[in-house]
Amino acid sequence: MKGAFAAAALAAMAGGANAINHRHAHELFAHKRSAEVAASTCGCTTYYTTTTGEATLCPPAPAPTSSSTSTPTPTATPTPELTTITEKLPVPTPEPITCPTPGTYTITATTVTLEETTTVCVAGSTHVPSGTHVVGGVTTVVDTATTVTCPVGVVTTLPDGIVKSTVISTEYVCPTAGTYTIAPITVTVTEECDVDFPVPTSYNPGTYTAPEQVITVTETDYVTVCPYTSSKKPAPPKSTQAPPPPPPAPKPKPAPKPAPKPAPKPEPEPEPKPEPQPPKKEKPSKPGHFDGTFGGNGDHAGITYTPYDEQSGSCKAGSQVDMDIAEIKKDGFNVVRVYSTDCNTLETVGNACAKHGVQMIVGVFVKASGCSVNTPEIKEQIDALSSWNHWDLAKLLVVGNEAVMNGFCSPAELKQLVKAVKGACTAYTGPVTVAETLDIWLRPDFKGAICDEVDYTGANIHPFFNPENLADLAGTFVKGQLTILDNICPGKKAVNLECGWPTGGQCLGSACPGEEAQAKALDSIRQAVGDRTVFFSWANDFWKEPGDLGCEQFWGTKKYFQNNH
């Protein structure tokens, strides 16, 4: 898929970047469209200063160097050439790399060492309805009247039409105590869309590494993004709060008097100085009974399951659910993923799983009605989970399914919801994650909010929604996406929570549906990453709307796995 960040200084402000892993949404598609950006005014004095590091939204990437290391064989479809790309950026922002032609590319490991704190602009994004909105800026809270100095991102248009984001330092007078947003951006949009804006982000001194990747490309000018991991944790983005005025220096304490000579006493030992704290280490995945793979038959252990009638969408009886789970177990699966607690899921599916020796991935589903723990639909699910007495069946707890991608939650709201669910489900001690697409995981605001709250990077990866993917390349594509996801949250492994190929609908470029195509795609995925994948889905859903490509009803894999277990 094409990267979520535009290469060089073509800031994402200028238009919508292509999302990685566009897929069928459970309720809607999230598209990015152009937005008219108008500069806002504020009462502050601005000083343009030189900042350390490249002050653009995405630092310019040098032209890739290519060298062929394999010879194409004469077939109807040319064999991709193996190409090595070496690129280096001055700061460890997520690195967009362009692969100019189809082929197999080795993106070499890249290391960036910072000797001093560096501040640059990275891309932030928010989903908005039609209308006028205020986005971005730096929010600060002060307890009294004061003047704060902080970096802000400013968008300028160069004479050649290129939109550039620059970090400047600004002083802002806060006349009274309160919360202030400095240098926000006002945007007016005519329809629902994602709006991008610059976010000043600071990186501490340290060594940052993007690992080597091998990807197979089937289109021209393919863009992939290489995230960095660090040996020292970067400072949090300064966009969240401007630094407060420095506190007054403490008064020096008088030296202690010596003990009297006539009655010598041991002098009190000087108060030990606190030892310097080592840099905070990246938070690794906590230990648990789930290690990022699903075991089972080795190449197809997990499957999504909803207890809905295939034709009407009504709730199935417990006896029907029991027969389904028995068949799922017979076909070699050890785990079923359920999305919510509706239709008495925890009882009907839970009882059947306990009977047939199948474990569960349970979840809290978020809809457009809200992302708060007090949203009635969410509260009902949390209450059901907190009183459930079969947590021994659960391998994983997933909060939300593409809730940020669909605009139902902001990253901060999803973070609070994850905390609330963990706090309510005290009987559960296993791992927790969320389910989003790769382009959402690559957003700095999302990583910053979610990485510390989850144990694994949970993603839905659908190769069908890449128009350049042939069915038999599906496994290579999914493996490449998982490699990127493995390096987003340091020390935390990625899991593929939704992955499949439809049997009906329309083609999307080279990606065409059909039973034969589904078999090729699932064979490829099983061979490459089957033990890390929850396949989507057990049955067709004829009660759903067909969707833009007419494929939403045809993701069932029951027939395939009955013949290929």
Which positions are annotated as active-site residues?
Answer: 402, 498
For residues 123 and 201, what is the distance between their CA atoms, to the nearest angstrom?
10
Q: Is 2 exposed, middle or buried (0-12, 13-18, 19+ CB in 10 A)?
A: buried
Distances (CA, A) of 256 to 124, 250, 259, 509: 54, 17, 9, 81
Q: Which two tokens stand for residue 475?
A: 């496994």
Q: What is the CA radius of gyration of the chain?
A: 26
SS3 assignment, position 492: coil
CB 27 within 8 A of CB 547: no
Alpha-carbon span 88 to 79, nearest angstrom: 28
- Tell me the HSE value of 160 on the side-chain side, using a 13 A CA sphere: 4
Determine the distance from the C-alpha atom of residue 73 to the mean position of all C-alpha atoms in its chain, rounded to a whole number. Answer: 38
Q: Where are the beta strands (DSSP E) in 211-259?
A: 213-217, 222-226, 229-230
Chain position carrying tokens 């190929």: 501
Q: Tokens for 6? A: 């535009």
- Alpha-carbon distance 236 to 122, whole Å? 13
Give the containing element (helix H, strand E) for 522: helix 515-529
